[in-house]
Chain A
Amino acid sequence: MAVRVRPDVYGLQDWGDPLLWYARAVAHMQQRPDTDPTSWRYQANVHGNLPPGQLPGQWDQCEHQTWFFLPWHRAYLYCWESIVQAAIVEIGGPAGWSLPYWNYSDTTNPNARILPPAFRASTLPDGTTPNPLLCQRGSKANSGQVVFPESHVSLAALNEPLFPGAPHGGSTGFGGPVTGFPNHSGAASGVLENVPHNAVHVDVSGLMQDPDTAAQDPIFWLHHANIDRLWTVWLANSPHQNPTDSTWLNSTYSLHEASGPVTFTANQVLDPTAAPLSYTYETAAVPAVPAVSPTPRAMTTPPPPPQQTPEMLGATEAPVSLAADQVHANLRLEPPSGPAARAAPGPTARVHLNLENVTGETGAVNYDVYVDLPEGADPDQHPELLAGVLAPFGVARSSSRRDPHTGGSGLNAAFDITSVVARLRTEGAWDPQNVRVSFVPTLGDDEPAPLRVGRISVYVTP
C-alpha cells in the first residue's frame, strides 16, 4: 500500500483541491443521520457525547489526561479519514485524499497562528454555497485575527524526555500520565496535550473548547493531525521512545472506519507509515529551536531515572478564584523530607507547579501562569518567569458530577518550573517561604468565565 502524505494546510492554496473536497465531504457527511456511523455527528460524538447520557455504538470514548491520548487519537483520526475519503469518492472526487495538518507553531510562516482562510470563509469559492468548514468559534478566530500567543503553540513538549508521566505531582510526560484504560483518573494532561493541544482548543473557542463538541468543528481534525505529527517529530529525536508496557501497547480501541467496525491496539498504530495506516507528514523534521519554550531545557538533558516519586513541598491553603484581571496567590514551601531529601542533588531533579481541581462552567480563555512575577510588572516583559499555560479545555465537563473521569473534581495541570526556579535562585530572588504564582488571562472573545483553582502546589522529583 502506497504511503500517503498528509500536507501542511498552509502549503495548499486557500481553496486548494484537498480543502475544497474536504468541505464538500463535510457537507455530505452532515446530511447523513446521526445514527449512521459514517455521519459527521456520529463521528464527532465518538470523541464527545451530545446529548449527554446517550451512548449508541462507540460514542464518548475520547482519551484525555492519560498516556493513551496519542494512540487513541491516532486511530480515531485514521478511521475518520477513511470515512472522508470514501465520502469524497462517493460525491465524485478523487481517491486517496489525505487530511491536512495545521502547523500553528511554524515560525517561518507569519500566518501560522491564524485560522486557515478556508475555515473562515462564509462561502465556498462559488460565492453562494455556504461553507461547511465555517462553524461556531470565537469571533476573533473566525475573523482571522492573530489570537494565539506564541506560548500557546510552544513546542517545549518536544524537550520532554519521557513519554509516560507521573499521575500526580511530577512531570506528566510527553504523552501523558500513566493511568488505567479507559482513563477515569482525572489526572493532569501530558505536556504535549496541554500545550499546544489544550491551548489551541481554547483559543479557537466555540465548539472546540468542549470535548463533547470539539470534533464537530472541521478544524479539529487538522489540529489533531498536527498533534499526531508532533508525536512523530518527538520520536525522531533520539533517545525518545514509546512506552513498552504491555498495558499501553495492548489497549484496544473500538472504532468505525469506512468499511465498518474496527478495533485497534496502540501497538498497531505506532508506525503510521505501516499498513493499514500508511501515511506520513509533509514535514516531520525536528525543529531546530522550539518556537517558545516557557521552560527551556536542552535537548541533550538526560532523562531522569524512572520510577522516582514526586514529593510535595507546599500548597495553598484555600482555593483561588480566577477572573478577568490578574490574580496572585502565595504559598510556602518546606524543605524536602522524603525522596528528594534522600537523593543526592543532581541535574535531573525537577520542580513542578501543580494546579489542582480547576473547576468552572466554561473554559473561555487560557491563563498564562507566572512564578514570582514582580508586583505591577508587565507579564509580557518576563517570559523567563512563565511557568506554563492553564488551558481549561473540558473544564465544564470535568466539573460536572456526570463526568466519569473526574466525578466533578475538575482539571489538573502540571508545569515544569525547574528552569524558572534555577534562574530565580541564580538571581537571589527565590524565596521558598513566599512563592508568588500569578494568573494572567490571555485575550479571548468574551469576559473570562469564572474559574476556580482548588489548590496550587509545588512538587520536587529527585
Chain B
Amino acid sequence: MSARRWLWRHPEVLALGLSAVAWVLLFAPIGLPASLSMSGMSMRSSSPGSMPSHMSMAGMSGMMGEDGTSGGATRLAAMPRFLPMSGISGAISTGDTTSVSHRVGAGWTLQMFMLMVVAMMLPSVTEPIRLTAALSLWRRRIRAIVEWILGFAAVWLLAGAAILCARQLATHNGLLPPGRLPMVAGLLIAAAWQLTPLKRLSLNGCHRLRPLAPHGPRADRDCVLYGAVIGRDCVVSCGPMMAAMTLCDRNQAIVTVAMTAVVLGERLRRRTPRKTSAVALGLLALASF
C-alpha cells in the first residue's frame, strides 16, 4: 500500500504526530526554541509542591503575549525555568532526582499540563479522531480533525485550570506537605477512582460516535462538540490520574509512561481493565512510597 493510501486510512496519524512532538518536548534532551519559552512561568518558589504565586489564568494570558522572537534553542540547564518537566530528562541522565523533584514539583503550569494531555491522552482517542475524518466530506477531513482536537483540548484546559488552582489552594493552606505523601495519596485516590461506576460510564463514553452535519458552520460546530464530549468523558475518566500526576515530585518519567500505559490499556481492552489499572496505580503508589 502506498504511503498516500495509508494516510487516507489513518488520518489519526495527525494526532499521533502531535502527541509525539509533546513527548519529545517533555523528555528528549534537547533545548526548546525560545519562542516557546515563557519567562513569566519561571519559578518564584522552589519549595516542593508549591506553585508560582502568579499562576493564574490572567497571569498566563499575559505571559502568552510575551516576546519570544529571539529564536535559537535554550540550554537543557535552562529548561526547568520554563518547562519544568524537561528536568526529567536531566534527572535520567544525571541521577539528580532531588533537584529535579524540586523543579518539577514546583513548576506545574497550565501549559505544562496541556503538554502532558497532548502526549498522554491523544493516543488514546485516535479512534474517535479517525471516525471524525471518516464521517466528514473528503475536503473537510483535516479541518474536522483540527476542530475535534480543539474541542477536546478546550475541555482539558478547563479541567487543568481547575486542578492546578485546587493544587495551589491546597499548597497555600498547607495541605500539601513536602515529600512523597501527596503523590502517593493522589495515586491511591486515582486507583480507587478506577473502580467507581462513574469511571466505567465515562470510559464507555470514550467510544461514543456522534452524528456530524456534512456542511457549513453546523459541521464545524459538530466536530468541536464531538471533541468536547469525548474530552468531557476523558476528563471524568482520567482526570484523577492527571491530578495525581501534578502531585508527583519525583520519577515523573516513570510515572508518565506508566500512566500512559494504563490509559491506553483501558481504552483498548474492555474486560477487567479498570481493576487491572487500579492495581497498577496502587503498585505505582507503593513504588513511589
Contact = CB atoms under 8 A, between A and B. Distances in A.
Contacts of B208: 186, 406-409
A245 B201 CA distance: 32
A408 B9 CA distance: 26
B9 A307 contact: yes
B262 to A, nearest CB: 17
Nearest to A180: B268
Interface in B71-89: none
Contact of A356 (B138, B141, B207, B211): B211
A307 B207 contact: no
A185 B207 contact: yes
Given A168-B131, A310-B134, A338 B8 contact: yes
B138 A311 contact: yes
A315 B209 contact: no
A302 interface: no
Interface in A293-318: 307, 309-315, 317
Contact of B207 (A319, A402, A407, A412): A407
Nearest to B139: A337
Interface string A23-37: 000000000000000
A120 interface: no
Nearest to A356: B211
Nearest to A170: B134
B207 A404 contact: yes
B1 interface: yes
A317 B221 CA distance: 12
A404 B269 CA distance: 10
User: How many B residues touch the partner, as a band?
Assistant: 20 to 34
A371 B135 CA distance: 21
A408 B204 contact: yes
Nearest to B6: A307
A409 B271 contact: no
B270 to A, nearest CB: 4
A240 interface: no
A457 B233 CA distance: 26
A407 B206 contact: yes
A132 to B, nearest CB: 31
Interface stretch (B23-31, B178-186, B212-220, B247-255): B212-220
A53 to B, nearest CB: 8
Interface string A159-190: 00000000111000000000010111110000
A455 interface: yes
A408 B205 contact: yes
A436 B227 CA distance: 31
A336 B203 CA distance: 36
Nearest to A312: B137
A155 B20 CA distance: 47
Contact of B213 (A168, A317, A409): A317
A307 B1 contact: yes
Contacts of A310: 134
B143 interface: no
Interface string B251-278: 0000000000000000011110000000
A6 B247 CA distance: 62
B138 A337 contact: yes
A285 B214 CA distance: 45
A402 B198 CA distance: 10
A404 B270 contact: yes
A314 B204 contact: no
A410 B131 CA distance: 15
Contacts of B218: 317
A313 to B, nearest CB: 8
Nearest to B205: A407
Interface centre among A314, A319, A406, A409 (most CB of B within 10 A): A409
A282 interface: no
Given A339-B8, A404-B204, A406-B208, A182 B271 contact: yes
Contact of A182 (B127, B136, B211, B269): B269
A201 interface: no
B228 to A, nearest CB: 15
Contacts of B207: 184-186, 404-407, 409
A228 interface: no
Given A309-B5, A310-B134, A337-B139, A357 B210 contact: yes
A454 interface: yes
Contacts of B131: 168
Contacts of B138: 311-312, 336-339
Nearest to A319: B211
Nearest to A313: B137
A401 B209 contact: no
Contacts of B139: 337-338
Contacts of B5: 307, 309, 339
Nearest to A412: B209
A334 B210 contact: no
A18 B205 CA distance: 45
Nearest to B216: A317
Contacts of B213: 315, 317
Contacts of A403: 204
A52 B213 CA distance: 34
Contacts of B212: 315, 455
B135 A407 contact: no
B158 to A, nearest CB: 21
Interface in B219-242: 233
B201 A401 contact: yes
A186 to B, nearest CB: 5
Interface string B7-24: 011000000000000000
Contacts of A357: 209-211
A98 to B, nearest CB: 31
Given A454-B210, A457-B214, 9 more contacts: A185-B127, A309-B9, A315-B135, A319-B211, A336-B138, A339-B5, A401-B201, A402-B201, A404-B203
30 contacts: A167-B134, A168-B134, A169-B134, A182-B271, A183-B270, A185-B207, A307-B9, A309-B5, A311-B138, A312-B136, A312-B138, A313-B137, A315-B135, A315-B211, A317-B213, A317-B215, A317-B218, A338-B8, A338-B139, A339-B8, A357-B209, A401-B201, A401-B204, A402-B200, A402-B201, A405-B207, A408-B208, A409-B207, A409-B210, A410-B209
List the 5 shortest-distance A-B pairs measured between CB atoms, nearest first. A338-B138, A454-B211, A455-B211, A407-B208, A407-B204
